[in-house]
Amino acid sequence: MKKMKLYIDNNEVEVMEGTTILEAAQGLNITIPTLCHHEDLCIAGNCRVCVVEVEGSEMLSAACATPVSTGMRIKTNSLKVRDSRRTIIDMLLSEHAGECVTCQRSGNCELQTLAVLYGSPDNHLMDISIKTEPDRSSSSIIKDDSKCIKCQRCVRTCQEIQKIGALTMSGKGEHAKVSTFFELPLNTVVCTNCGQCVIRCPTGALVERTYIDEVWDVIGNSDVHTVVQTAPAVRVGLGEALGHDAGGRFTGQMVSALRKLGFDAVFDTNFTADLTIIEEGSELLNRLTNVIKGSGEALLPMFTSCSPGWIKFIEHQFPHLLGHLSTCKSPQQMFGALAKTRWSEKAQIEPEKISSISIMPCTAKKFEAARPEMNDSGYRDVDYVLTTRELAKMIKQAGIDFDKLDESECDSLLGKHSGAAVIFGATGGVMEAAIRTVYELVTGRPVPFENLNITAVRGMEGIREATLRIEGTVEKYNFLEGVELKVAVAHGLKNANAIMELVSQGSAPWHFVEVMACPGGCLSGGGQPIPTSPEIREARARAIYEEDESLPIRKSHENPEITRIYEEFLTDGPCGHKSHHLLHTHYTPRR
Amino acid sequence: MSISLSVKTAIEESGNSRENLMSVLQIIRSDLGTLSPAILTEVADQMGLSRADVYGTATFYSFLETTPVGKYSIRICRSISCDMKNKNAVREALENHLFIKKGETTKDGMFTLTETNCLGHCHEGPVMLVNDEIHTELTPDSAVKIIEEIRIREGVDE
Ligand code: SF4
Ligand code: SF4
Ligand code: SF4
């Protein structure tokens, strides 16, 4: 490819052919404002906020959509550019029925930022905005068309990254809007609640449904005992929502903050992530036993079942493959069931007085907690789900100086965890954690990888595969001697879709497949701080693996609280009767 | 014809990739009438597209109706030339005559009145399209008369 020399605001720059003006300017650290553009998505070029002047051309060009050419002279800050930019933003605002003071995105809204920076101080355009009732049907997401600027990032996200296509642009001209099929409520269409559209929406048109007030209410009610759990990815995202760069780890401060907020018992979803590994690992071994010994029916590959967006995806798109899903509930739901049984018994608090709250990097977890399948404790297992963003907001509301907090540890019983649990937050993490345990169970030896790091299943490649030869088995598992365990990992539902097509055709070679609905895994879930980008996801993933290496216990089966729960509570063992009742479930097809 | 057969035939005629979607929808629209949720679901399933995507495409074209319309679709051109030639008076006359507002359908399911973008007869405005037939240089009275004639043809009593 050719190199091309051009000039942006009189600065010379040399870039490869095919580079856009926007990218070339970024290389010079010149900021051109954008709205419809997003690094993860295809170019749309519909908002025109990024217009620049190209010498020799009457018309302004959209920097995001115009490739450079040799000798180009570009002005990003001329009078003409500033005027057009202002007009474009003023026009967007004239259609925008927003009220920043009540908007969830205020302070982190790209439209607001641009309006403050570039809009006219006194917008003289006619107000043609239309206030419509938001769609509040989903337990996860609120869609408010009044605030939509029709940038279509959400449509592209849902189609390109997730291959779901729950959203479209309908109508045209002034009637164009982001729609579901026949404007049906979000909770009745194929939407998986993944929230990937939410973290890419530049405005408050798509936000999570918030439960902060409900949680303050239970915290403030002295008759209610509040039990909180936090997912692994929250600790590597929270800092960003509180002013830190991506990649920081704040586990200890987060635990202290949760105590300061007033939660009565502070636990960790990581504990039930470890428990998931024991249950899911046992289930995998049971399935392998059935298939290899031919003693019964078992569907392989087995799919992980931690990601609620992924589960709803199968229910809609591949209902005939639901039998491949591990019957394990997600760690959030296992935790909820135990909070109202095991913890209730130990703490001697009646379950009806317990409110179980989870902090998740995920919007789909809100939907999961509300599923009818999730009441096996006899109560709703998880009462409220907050996103990482909502937790950050509560910390700010409470006036807590997060940076000055000392580190502290979770309460015991449902709080201890291994490094294997922490990596559940990254794509490939559940697989790695499972292999660390299953291999050791089967051979009596740790996995043959340096420092337990199974790098083959790590990384950001959309689909990754690995093969592990099982040798030197213990007696119970000698039927697995010489078996090559084949696994695959996929993240983002578009990649999941590719895997499912193969499974559907019967040509999938794997025994075990991990899927996380969001690109990068939970660490870039729909409930994580906004924005997201490839660099941010990398930084959070690094933090997750650092956290794993920093912990004294790195394997789920070595977590002493896990040993204890099987001795004292789940006494008929992994996949036994009691765990089946509390920790496993089945899902049903949807159209 | 059943929905699924009609969709299948339209796809066989037009092709089964996304760029054939509009032509598939056109054929089905003339075969089956209004593009209902059931029809668009079938199109999406048979073409392997998302339902929303098919809906979005259909709603872009005003001639691919997704809401029920009458036997006769009256479309008044709303573009600037017809507007300057007083298409509003024509529309109001029809609204009064049919006892409906723009966007509505008469109770007997006979007429739907809408406005549409340029019909390409700017020099003879105001114009309206009744199903496939164009009527030009309208006045409020002549427009009402055209509708009256249809009523008589259909044998509908006043
Ligand atoms: S979307 Fe942005 S600009 Fe609109 S009300 Fe919300 S914060 Fe304000
Ligand atoms: S939440 Fe996910 S599935 Fe639902 S509309 Fe947004 S991107 Fe699509
Ligand atoms: S909902 Fe958000 S992402 Fe989607 S088009 Fe509107 S502003 Fe853009």
Quick one: what percent of chain A has pLDDT higher than 70?
100
Q: How far apart are CA A51 and CA A76, in angstroms?
A: 8
ipTM score of complex = 0.92
Shared domain check, B92 and B135: yes
Do B36 and B78 have their domain in common? no
**Residue B94 belongs to a domain:** yes
Mean pLDDT over A48-54 rounds to 97
Q: Which domain holds residue B82?
A: 72-154
- Ligand 1 surroundings by CB, under 6 angstroms: A 96, 98-100, 103, 105-106, 109, 111-112, 147, 203-204
CA of B136 to the centre of ligand 2 (A): 47
Q: What is the mean pLDDT of residues A85-91?
A: 96
Among B144, B117, B126, B9, smallest CA distance to B63 is for B117
Average pLDDT taken over every residue of chain A: 96
Asked whether residue B66 is domain-assigned, the answer is no
Which of the following CATH numbers is that of domain A3-77: 3.10.20.740, 3.30.1200.10, 3.30.70.980, 3.30.70.270? 3.10.20.740
Q: Kindly state whether residues B51 and B76 are assigned to the same domain.
A: no
Q: Does residue B27 sit in the same domain as residue B51?
A: yes
B136 and B97: one domain?
A: yes
Under CATH, which architecture does the A226-271+332-404 domain have?
3-Layer(aba) Sandwich (3.40)
- Is the domain of B86 the same as that of B147? yes
Q: Which ligand is nearest to the CA of A169?
A: 3
Q: Is A97 exposed, middle or buried (0-12, 13-18, 19+ CB in 10 A)?
A: middle
A281: its two tokens: 């690992």
> What confidence score (pLDDT) does residue A63 get?
98
Rounded Cα–Cα distance for residues A155 and A157 (Å): 5
Q: Mean pLDDT across the stretch A534-542? A: 98
State the distance from the centre of ligand 1 to the C-alpha of A186, rounded, in angstroms: 21
pLDDT(B134) > 80:
yes
Residues above pLDDT 70, as percent of chain B: 98
Helix, strand counts (H, E) of chain A: 19, 17
Mean predicted confidence (pLDDT) in A153-179: 96
Bigger pLDDT: A418 vs B158: A418
| Residue ranges of B 52-81 with Cβ closer than 8 A to chain A | 52-53, 55-57, 59-60, 66
Checking phi first, is residue A48 left (phi over 0); if not, alpha (psi -120 to 50) or beta?
Answer: left
Interacting residues of A509 by C-beta distance below 8 A, sequence separation 6+: A486
Average pLDDT over residues A170-177: 92
Distance CA B101, CA A382 (A): 50
Q: Which of A171, A172, A179 is facing B52, going by the closest CB pair? A: A179
Q: pLDDT at position A1, please?
A: 80
Express each pLDDT in B64-103 by its tens digit. Answer: 999 888 999 999 999 999 999 999 999 999 999 999 999 9
Query: pLDDT tier at A210 (50, 70, 90 boundaries)?
Result: very high
pLDDT of A190 higher than 90:
yes
Mutate to test the interface with B, among A155, A157, A181 (most CBs of B within 10 A): A181
Rounded to whole angstroms, the Cα distance separating A461 from A231 reads 23
**Residues forming a β-bridge with B111:** B72
pTM of the model as a whole: 0.94
- pLDDT range class, residue A291, cuts 50, 70, 90: confident
Identify the band that residue A121 occupies on the pLDDT scale cut at 50, 70 and 90: confident
Domain presence at residue B27: yes
Mean pLDDT of A429-457: 95
Share of chain A above pLDDT 90, in %: 95
Q: How many angstroms does the Cα of residue A154 sit away from the middle of ligand 3?
A: 5
In a domain, B109, yes or no: yes
Q: What is A272-330+416-531+543-583's CATH topology? A: Fe-only Hydrogenase (Larger Subunit); Chain L, domain 3 (3.40.950)
Ligand nearest to the CA of A494: 2
CATH of the domain at B78: 3.40.30.10
Q: Domain locations in chain A?
A: 3-77, 90-208, 226-271+332-404, 272-330+416-531+543-583
Are B103 and B47 found together in one domain? Answer: no
Could you tell me if B118 and B54 lie in one domain? no
Do B41 and B83 share a structural domain? no
User: Given a cut of 60, is residue B118 above it in pLDDT?
Assistant: yes
- Is the pLDDT at B156 greater than 60? The verdict is no
Count of domains for chain B? 2
Same domain, yes or no, for B78 and B29? Answer: no
Boundary residue ending a domain (B32, B60, B88): B60
B43 plus B79 within the same structural domain:
no
Partners of B66 on chain A (C-beta within 8 Å) are 182
Contact between A173 and B57 under an 8 Å Cβ cutoff? The reply is: no
pLDDT of residue A294: 75
CATH 1.25.10.10 fits A90-208, yes or no: no
Q: Are A200 and A38 in contact (CB under 8 A)?
A: yes
Q: pLDDT band at residue A125, thresholds of 50, 70 and 90?
A: confident
Nearest CA to A219 out of A384, A330, A333 is that of A384
Residue range A443-461: mean pLDDT, rounded: 94
Once rounded to an integer, what is the mean pLDDT over residues A342-358? 97
Residue A364: partners with Cβ closer than 8 Å, 6 or more residues away:
A140, A192, A193, A194, A195, A307, A308, A309, A312, A517, A525, A526
Q: What is the torsional sign of CA A218, A220, A223, A229?
A: positive
